[in-house]
Structure 1
Amino acid sequence: MTIENDSATPWSPTQWSKAESWSRDCLAAFQKKALATQLAYVEANSAFYRARFAAAGFRAADFREPADLARLPLTTKQDYMAALDDGPPWGSALACDPAAVRRLHFSSGTTSRPTPDAWTGPDLARWADLYGRAAYSQGVRRGDVFQCLFSYPWFVGGLGATAAFERIGCMVIPGGSGDTERQIETLFAYGTTTIMATPSFAAHLAEVAQRMGRDLRQSKVRHIGVGGEPGAGVPATRARLEALWDAKVFDCYGSLEFQPIAWDCAAQAGGHLVEDFAHVEVIDPATGAAVPDGTPGMLVLTHLDKQAFPLVRWATGDIVVRDSRPCACGRTHARLPGGVRGRADDMIVIRGVNLFPTAVEDVVRAMPGLADEYRIILDETVRDPATGFPTGIRLQVEAAADAPADIGHRLADAIRTKLLVRATVEVLAPMALERFTHKAKRLVRQ
């Protein structure tokens, strides 16, 4: 069974590849065959995984079913960094000749030192085709004008999106995430119809456009793909951005290590996992046991055809809910309703209530009278002095021009009613909080 690389002629008016609507049985058969081939490749070419396989008493030749992967340990970011230190700069995880590497990107370094990932020529072609397939599913077509508002220096998203939209047949404007006023003038001047950006930058553009006397609702932009941080998976954030731009907003989920992971289709019912590129597990982060569809768990991914830096049982740290039922769009790949619910290490436990920052964002974004930026602060003012455990959250928000005088009390009441936690709300003047053009940091632990 093969996958058509049919970007020049999509096989249907709405679908890029026949792989998108394979039956679940067909997908399972494909994954089983692909995993057997990939595990053999990894064992033969990656010293890092060869040692891990041996330590677990696992041989690629013994693989029979995807369930056999559970015999292997998870691969964490710390494991990956240790492998890089084993003979830098490539380390022991590189599974190809360094001369075959055609692209190198780096992580943002927000949670650890910047780490690299590499792609061979076939890896790059696969990446561009999958990105193109995902954007096509959202309604992007040949003739669209695409303005890429992802950062280009170091960041993985900008060049990936550029290659994908060129593959579809769009005219591409590689704008990046700076020069905000120029971006706005450019999208009006050249009739930009589709953009990709972080949710923070998309909101920031709307703020700046308003100050310039420009109404983005009057632009030709009708499609917005957002990624890099939770956004379109948060209902109130999606609604807010769609109102600011009068355009459809789609969640686009990926990471440095897996490009892409899951993107919304036109139905906006949760990003479709790219199950012909990655084998997916959803596990309990505490026990490691698989959880059923509909139950929150940590996403674990295994490459099915990556050559340069292939990963086996990569622990993303992202909490998701999987739904394997077919989508209304006709695609059969499982979806992630609500996108990334949070990071396993970002979960806050407050008097028995598990709270993710995305849940707070949904309440804040839905509250009339607030501007777009906010901060969640965990400090001594919301900790039990005896145990150090959180007793609530502290919120900093900005009042919009039309905010009622009691906006802080209203927000605190909404947080308590909807999330069952106490919130101390500090209402600030407009533009008091830092704006982000790349990845926003809204949870601050002090």
Structure 2
Amino acid sequence: MKQQERQPFSETIWDERETWSRDRIEASQLDALRRQLERVGRTSSHYRKVFAEVGFEPGDLKSFADLRRLPFTRKADYVAGLEAQPPFGALAAVEPGEAVRVHFSSGTTARPAPVLWTQADIERWADLYARYLYAQGLRRGDIFQCMFNYAWFVGGLGATLAAQHLGALVIPASSGDTERQIETIFQYGSQCVIGTPSFMAHMAEAAEKLGRDLTTSRVKMVCVGGEPGASIPGTRERIERQWGAKMFDCYGALECQPIGWDTAAQLGPTLAEDFIYVEVLHPDTREPVADGERGVLVLTHLDKEACPLVRWWTGDMVVRDSRTAPDGRTHARLAGGVLGRADDMLIIRGVNLFPSAVEDIVRAFPGLSNEYLLVLDDSVKDPHTGFLTGVKLRVERAAGAPADLGERLSQRLREKLQVRFHVEVVESGTLPRTIHKATRVVHA
């Protein structure tokens, strides 16, 4: 029997909930929070212990402020839960037999951490991703080339499910095999591609070397996630110019999929406020900040079944905008996307610097390739205190770049960021390329 097709709410909006009033959104969130906290307090041994330690009963939740009685959940808590209750951890709220899938973290800072999904979680995930792809312009019958890695990385299968759910024709290309990716785009007329910003920049560079002009392809949407990029103006402008298509930020994390994605208006990732309750908190005081002010994003699942999170400290610095968007969507947005990591922020002579601010300038500066590297070594540290006195930046010279490229870039960075940069210009092809998540900051 043919499964009934999901019908969009309108020609531009996938789900009616995207247009609910703020009052209705918040009433729904509070009701969902009560149910969710009651369930996780009963089924997750980690949260059962946490609730008992602070004397919290789910029935105590009368307002959103009451949620702040609970401590944050951090990556270290998740890892400790895995050690306490292997193999799936103490945060899990279902038995393994109730789950249908497990995805793993990359394991770059710790051993790979598993996250379970029930069938309802998978279906919710696919529908939310479809909502965002629809908002960006993907339609039934479009050709969707997925260039996220499928080996362990969570994004590939999520994007594939979403595009299929929407009704697009999916090419599950994965990352790598760059020349074939380019040929596939032209041969089959892919209209939407998705991958990391680093791979999209690499693809553009490779296409140019092959003599293929991506701006003449049918690609109209370049969707990116896994690392900052589409919300950084310099990066967005560069890749949109190279591809001749609009570029969209797709923000999520293994533990919380999805968080928010750009819409066609490109005003910053729109939060999935019927899926997550969002707090934006001052990084030091841990108190809520007003819309328009920077803070750390903290998330609580409203209906996740297998591995729900309560007050998950993402570490991502953001600015929230809760005003209704011009297209009528009422869910809040993250203006400028993820501005940086609270723990990646560099302090140079009292100036707070996020690597994304450097990328914005570098990617928009003429005469450079797509690649760059921030190097934090002894040459930019005070020998007595170890504090940073500047930043070393390695960039690649593009063909026809002026001889004083490094001096010009250093001056521009100093003017814009009020930080001293030691710019090293190397020849094109010197810096490492990546087909997955790029490492832009190196501690040497």
TM-score with structure 1 setting the length: 0.98
Secondary structure of 2:78's aligned partner: helix
**Residue 394 of structure 2: aligned partner:** 396
Quick one: distance in 1 between partners of 2:223 and 2:399?
A: 28
**Residue 211 of structure 2: aligned partner:** 213
**Residue 376 of structure 1: aligned partner:** 374
TM-fit CA distance, 1:39 = 0.4
Quick one: distance in 2 between partners of 1:341 and 1:334?
A: 16
**Residue 33 of structure 2: aligned partner:** 35
TM-fit CA distance, 1:25 = 0.2
Structure 2 counterpart of 1:54, which letter? A
Structure 2 counterpart of 1:381, which letter? S
**Residue 293 of structure 2: aligned partner:** 295
**Residue 96 of structure 2: aligned partner:** 98
Quick one: distance in 2 between partners of 1:58 and 1:7?
A: 43
TM-fit CA distance, 1:90 = 1.5
Deviation per CA, 1:271-325, whole angstroms, max 9, x where unpaired? 1010000000001122211111111110000000011000000000100000101
Quick one: distance in 2 between partners of 1:428 and 1:24?
A: 51
Number of equivalences? 441
Show the 5 A alignment for 1:270-289: 270-289=268-287
**Residue 429 of structure 1: aligned partner:** 427
TM-fit CA distance, 1:87 = 2.0
Alignment match of 2:332 (pick from 324, 331, 334): 334
Deviation per CA, 1:361-403, whole angstroms, max 9, x where unpaired? 0010111000000000111000111111001100000000021
**Residue 443 of structure 1: aligned partner:** 441
Deviation per CA, 1:142-173, whole angstroms, max 9, x where unpaired? 01100000000100000000000001110000
Asked if the contact 2:252/2:259 (under 8 Å) is kept, the reply is yes
Asked if the contact 1:266/1:329 (under 8 Å) is kept, the reply is no
After TM superposition, what 4+ stretches of structure 1 lie above 6 angstroms from structure 2? none
Secondary structure of 1:164's aligned partner: helix
Alignment match of 1:12 (pick from 10, 15, 36): 10
Quick one: distance in 2 between partners of 1:83 and 1:155?
A: 22
**Residue 64 of structure 1: aligned partner:** 62
Show the 5 A alignment for 1:6-405: 8-405=6-403
Secondary structure of 1:345's aligned partner: coil
Asked if the contact 2:136/2:264 (under 8 Å) is kept, the reply is yes
Asked if the contact 2:46/2:91 (under 8 Å) is kept, the reply is yes
Quick one: distance in 2 between partners of 1:112 and 1:92?
A: 17
TM-fit CA distance, 1:111 = 2.5
Quick one: distance in 2 between partners of 1:8 and 1:172?
A: 17
TM-fit CA distance, 1:7 = 6.5
Quick one: distance in 2 between partners of 1:208 and 1:73?
A: 47
Quick one: distance in 2 between partners of 1:303 and 1:62?
A: 18
Note the residue ranges of structure 1 that are not aligned, 5 or more in a row.
1-5
Quick one: distance in 2 between partners of 1:402 and 1:334?
A: 44
Quick one: distance in 1 between partners of 2:282 and 2:208?
A: 45
More divergent stretch after superposition (372-381 vs 112-121): 112-121
Deviation per CA, 1:343-378, whole angstroms, max 9, x where unpaired? 111000011110000000001011100000000011
Structure 1 counterpart of 2:360, which letter? D
Quick one: distance in 1 between partners of 2:92 and 2:195?
A: 30
Structure 1 counterpart of 2:225, which letter? G
More divergent stretch after superposition (292-301 vs 112-121): 112-121
Quick one: distance in 1 between partners of 2:148 and 2:389?
A: 37
Note the residue ranges of structure 2 that are not aligned, 5 or more in a row.
none
Verify: 1:418 aligned to 2:411, yes or no.
no
Deviation per CA, 1:15-60, whole angstroms, max 9, x where unpaired? 0010001000000000010000000110110010000011011011
Asked if the contact 1:7/1:129 (under 8 Å) is kept, the reply is no
Quick one: distance in 2 between partners of 1:182 and 1:118?
A: 34
Structure 2 counterpart of 1:14, which letter? T
Structure 1 counterpart of 2:86, which letter? P
TM-fit CA distance, 1:113 = 2.1
Quick one: distance in 2 between partners of 1:427 and 1:142?
A: 46
Asked if the contact 1:349/1:355 (under 8 Å) is kept, the reply is yes
Q: How many percent of aligned residue pairs carry the same amino acid?
A: 58
Structure 1 counterpart of 2:249, which letter? D
Asked if the contact 2:396/2:427 (under 8 Å) is kept, the reply is yes
Quick one: distance in 2 between partners of 1:111 and 1:378?
A: 19
Residues 7 and 131 (structure 1 numbering): CA distance in 2 closer, same or farther, change over 3 Å? farther
Quick one: distance in 2 between partners of 1:263 and 1:90?
A: 29
Asked if the contact 2:88/2:115 (under 8 Å) is kept, the reply is no
TM-score with structure 2 setting the length: 0.98
Secondary structure of 1:384's aligned partner: coil
Quick one: distance in 2 between partners of 1:360 and 1:309?
A: 36
Structure 2 counterpart of 1:390, which letter? L
Quick one: distance in 2 between partners of 1:170 and 1:22?
A: 27
Structure 1 counterpart of 2:418, which letter? L
Residues 297 and 187 (structure 1 numbering): CA distance in 2 closer, same or farther, change over 3 Å? same
Asked if the contact 1:270/1:338 (under 8 Å) is kept, the reply is yes
Quick one: distance in 1 between partners of 2:239 and 2:109?
A: 27
Structure 1 counterpart of 2:156, which letter? G
Quick one: distance in 1 between partners of 2:60 and 2:329?
A: 32
